[in-house]
Amino acid sequence: MINGCARLATATPIPTDTSAPTDVPATTIVLPPTTTPTPIISREQVIEPKLGDEFWLKMGESVTLQKGGLTIQFKSLAGDSRCPEGVLCVWMGNAEVILEVSKNEIRLNTLLDPKEEVVGDYNIQLRDVTPYPKAGVEHTPENYSIKIVVSKK
């Protein structure tokens, strides 16, 4: 090791007398083993949405706003009667979700009331539920996401 660096290559010198043919071995290069770089930032980055901005939550995910003053978790899908794509329905239908908001359970809807709820100093509004139903396709709970917006009341 030279000055803290590992030796990477070993070479055989080429002879200076070129009058006779000489076999010169090929240079051998030894590379250090490859490693996976360690990320500086965790893969599960915590991004705090701003009040008034729409954001998405997957089923089971939580988000913290206002520097920990408000926590919202998408607990479950209580029901989804939205008219599936490719089907003719009498009404649009409704998706109902259950959220835990700072230890309070609330239910919000896409079509029926309540579409929004006040918890403490905050107004939580449901904007969308995905995936949208399709005829003949069943979705598992972990596939669902919601779009919500939180504002000061």
Q: Is residue 117 part of a domain?
A: yes
**Is residue 23, in this structure, part of any structural domain at all?**
no
Structure-token match 């979700």, residue found: 97
d(Cα 2, Cα 138) in Å, to the nearest integer? 63
pLDDT at 17 over 70: no
- If one counts the domains in the chain, the total is 1
89-102 tens-digit pLDDT: 999 999 999 999 99
Residue 2 lies in a domain: no
Specify the pTM. 0.69
pLDDT of residue 43: 44
CB 32 within 8 A of CB 5: no
Mean pLDDT of the chain: 82
Kindly state whether residue 30 falls inside one of the protein's structural domains. no
Residue 67 within any structural domain of the chain: yes
* pLDDT tens by residue, 106-135: 999 999 999 999 999 999 999 999 999 999
